[in-house]
Amino acid sequence: MAAHYLNCVSFSDGAICLASSTDVLIWQCSLLQVQQPGLVFFPNSSGYELEASDSYWSGTAHLRPTCVITPATADMASEAVAIMSRNNCSFAVRSGGHSTATGWANIDGGILLATTKLSSITIGNDSVSVGAGLRWGAVYDFLDPHNLTVVGGRGAEVGVGGLVLGGGVSHFTPGLGLACDNIVTSNGQIREASAESHADLWQALKGTQNFFGIVTRFDLYTFPSPQLHSVGFSMSMDSFDQVATTYNKYIREDSGRENAEHLAVGLTSYYVPFLGAPSLHLDLLSTRGAEEDSWIEENSTRLRLPNAITRFAELPVSAPTENRGTMADFGSGAPIPKLRYDLRTFSFQSSLEMLKGIKEIFEQEITAVQEADASLAGIIEWQLITENAIKQGVFKGGNMLGLEGSGPLIVFTMANSWTDVSRDLAAHVAGQRVVDRGIALAQSLGVYRPFLYANYAANGQNVLDSYGKKNVAMLSQLRRKYDSGNELPILMPGGLSGM
């Protein structure tokens, strides 16, 4: 019986039709290899394994694309997208692989476009031009000898592209806003978007990940690199009520005080059975410049802190550690263990009842999973977005996040991890139950805010809808303008592009 040839690869002077979509993908990959020799990798090669698996920090993101292409220039990226688009080939784009959601930055069976080789970096008068394939450690190391820095990721291994396009929480966010609010220009495969050119697209890129396609370069505002100054310490979970009371008062009474824009407060809850009893960790950081005096009193565990965060000195401090340095120093922490991770998030305005309530919900749901799998580590990151950070977004041209009038707010983030793929479903279900019950509690207390931080969202969490009807309507209008054929949600089904 003759095969039905329904899958065709087109050329300017004709087409070749093949028997299956798999054949088409293999042909596409071969065509890309001819067009960009040495930049296309197939299964069982070291380059393929590096890009399709090893570059992701979470095993949940490991998929098996038909091939991986690593364009070295914006023109090459544009050429690759044109070939894939012309032949209706599904593909995914990966910068650093920030998301743990399956399929958001990788693909089974399609083609993975990895931005690894888009790694150029040059300094301008008041900005730095950064390739989308770079990671933040390389950016900070490049800028450090020039005594400059940028609003960027807090970890060296975090990729530039994903963090910026998803919003981008930084140590500098309280004073300068999110990373996406500090873009001068963004260069995609065809257009350069800035406040002066394609200004609507420039604004729309902020917080929408791959919704409008591939961004190959960012021009980011630079500023003199300050000496950061921090102190961190751990506490027993028995101290949670006292910590929550202090944290809530700081958010409501102190986070808008004078000089608070130079201070970042990081609170994390750890439920890691193989490390012992649950614990809390608090990090207090100043971006104003390191002070000569220590924040730790000599021969003591007592703290002496700047005015806006002085109330944290009342907590039961034990074995505090103090650090000073630039972002190049602070970004070079220990690498994240490569396990299976599930990130999920929702947001609320701070209240003591909410902080205590969501802690209890988390403990109920995660403990039940840990009883069956002691390898599962439950982590909560209580991340604050201050009112000033939100105002900076408006002042710097606006973004798509819909945060105006909603701050200060807490971005509640779970970063649960485990080892065995067979536990994926149980971990995902428990995590979503925490989110669903947490949202219901926040709504009952009148503190719920619909914002979902894209970089911490999971499959099934509709990030774009959380930005508000006005912004969703604007995004739909702009997609019709810049993607009139509505190809992206079909060709790039993962992440926000497919929403």
Whole-number Å distance between alpha carbons of 210 and 289: 36
Provide mean pLDDT across the span 372-385.
95
The one-letter amino acid code at 9 reads: V
- What is the pLDDT, as a whole number, of residue 1? 34
pLDDT(131) > 80: yes
Same domain, 358 and 462: yes
306 confidence band (pLDDT: 50, 70, 90): very high
Domain-located, residue 231: no
pLDDT(274) > 90: no
Same domain, 99 and 142: no
Provide mean pLDDT across the span 446-467.
95
Under a CB-based contact definition with an 8 Å cutoff, are residues 433 and 447 in contact? no
More confidently predicted of 186 and 283: 283
The CATH number of whichever domain residue 39 belongs to comes to 3.30.43.10
Same domain, 139 and 74: no
**Range of weakest confidence among 52-66, 184-198, 328-342, 373-387:** 184-198
Beta strands 215-221; 127-131: pairing state: antiparallel
User: What is the SS3 assignment for 192-251?
Assistant: EEECCCCHHHHHHCCCCCCCCCCEEEEEEECEECCCEEEEEEEEEHHHHHHHHHHHHHHH
Same domain, 85 and 152: no
Domain-located, residue 319: no
Domain-located, residue 260: no
More confidently predicted of 350 and 5: 350
Whole-number Å distance between alpha carbons of 61 and 42: 18
The proportion of the chain whose per-residue pLDDT surpasses 70, expressed as a percent, equals 93
Domain-located, residue 326: no
* Assigned token pair, 231: 């102190």
* Assigned token pair, 1: 């019986």
Q: Where are the alpha helices (DSSP H) in 352-468?
A: 352-372, 387-395, 424-445
Mean pLDDT across the chain = 89
Which of 196, 224, 252 corresponds to the end of one domain?
224
More confidently predicted of 157 and 251: 251
How far is C-alpha 381 from the chain's CA centre? 13
Whole-number Å distance between alpha carbons of 220 and 294: 33
- What is the pLDDT, as a whole number, of residue 188? 53
Angle between helices 352-372 and 240-249 (to 10 degrees): 140
Under a CB-based contact definition with an 8 Å cutoff, are residues 62 and 56 in contact? yes
Q: Which of 304, 315, 231, 235 is nearest to 268 (CA)?
A: 235
- What is the pLDDT, as a whole number, of residue 497? 63
pLDDT(471) > 90: yes
The proportion of the chain whose per-residue pLDDT surpasses 90, expressed as a percent, equals 68
* Assigned token pair, 254: 């102190």
Structural domain boundaries, residue 155: 121-224
Residue 452 Cα distances to 56, 410, 441, angstroms = 22, 11, 16
- What is the pLDDT, as a whole number, of residue 11? 47
Cross-strand pairs, 22: none
Provide mean pLDDT across the span 323-333.
88
Under a CB-based contact definition with an 8 Å cutoff, are residues 319 and 282 in contact? no
Convert the pLDDT of each residue in 191-209 to its tens digit.
778 888 888 888 988 888 8
Domain-located, residue 182: yes
- The 10 Å Cβ neighbour count of residue 43 is 12
- Say how many domains are in the chain: 3
Same domain, 352 and 402: yes
Convert the pLDDT of each residue in 361-376 to its tens digit.
999 999 999 999 989 9
pLDDT(153) > 70: yes
Query: Which residues, 6+ apart, have CB-to-CB distance to 138 below 8 Å?
Result: 119, 121
Domain-located, residue 386: yes
- What is the pLDDT, as a whole number, of residue 3? 36
* Assigned token pair, 122: 């040059």
Q: Which of 12, 40, 17 is nearest to 112 (CA)?
A: 40
Provide mean pLDDT across the span 62-81.
92
The one-letter amino acid code at 33 reads: Q
- The H or E element spanning position 308 is none
447 confidence band (pLDDT: 50, 70, 90): very high
Domain-located, residue 432: yes
pLDDT(339) > 60: yes
pLDDT(487) > 80: no
How far is C-alpha 66 from the chain's CA centre? 26
**Range of weakest confidence among 162-176, 190-204, 264-278, 442-456:** 190-204
User: DSSP string of 76-102?
Assistant: HHHHHHHHHHHTT--EEEESS----ST
Provide mean pLDDT across the span 238-250.
98
pLDDT(18) > 80: no
Same domain, 98 and 174: no
Global pTM?
0.91
The one-letter amino acid code at 264 reads: A
Same domain, 157 and 73: no
- The H or E element spanning position 303 is none
17 confidence band (pLDDT: 50, 70, 90): very low
224, HSE (Cβ side, Cα atoms, 13 Å): 4
- What is the pLDDT, as a whole number, of residue 333? 67
Whole-number Å distance between alpha carbons of 192 and 185: 7
Provide mean pLDDT across the span 423-444.
97
Provide mean pLDDT across the span 328-349.
88
Same domain, 136 and 105: no
pLDDT(86) > 80: yes
Q: Which of 136, 118, 117, 138 is nearest to 186 (CA)?
A: 118
Which of 90, 114, 138 corresponds to the end of one domain?
114
Provide mean pLDDT across the span 76-80.
90
Using DSSP, state whether 307 is helix, strand or coil.
Answer: helix
The one-letter amino acid code at 154 reads: R
Same domain, 86 and 168: no
Residue 495 Cα distances to 183, 367, 368, 489, angstroms = 21, 30, 30, 9
Query: Which residues, 6+ apart, have CB-to-CB distance to 266 below 8 Å?
Result: 282, 283, 284, 285, 381, 383
pLDDT(190) > 70: no
Same domain, 55 and 171: no
- The 10 Å Cβ neighbour count of residue 228 is 22
Convert the pLDDT of each residue in 396-420 to its tens digit.
999 999 999 888 999 999 999 999 9
Convert the pLDDT of each residue in 38-50 to its tens digit.
999 999 999 999 9
Same domain, 141 and 75: no
The CATH number of whichever domain residue 348 belongs to comes to 3.30.70
279 confidence band (pLDDT: 50, 70, 90): very high
Domain-located, residue 52: yes
- Tell me which range, 60-64, 308-312, 337-341, is most confidently predicted by mean pLDDT: 308-312
Same domain, 46 and 84: yes
Which of 114, 143, 177 corresponds to the end of one domain?
114
Q: Is 313 exposed, middle or buried (0-12, 13-18, 19+ CB in 10 A)?
A: middle
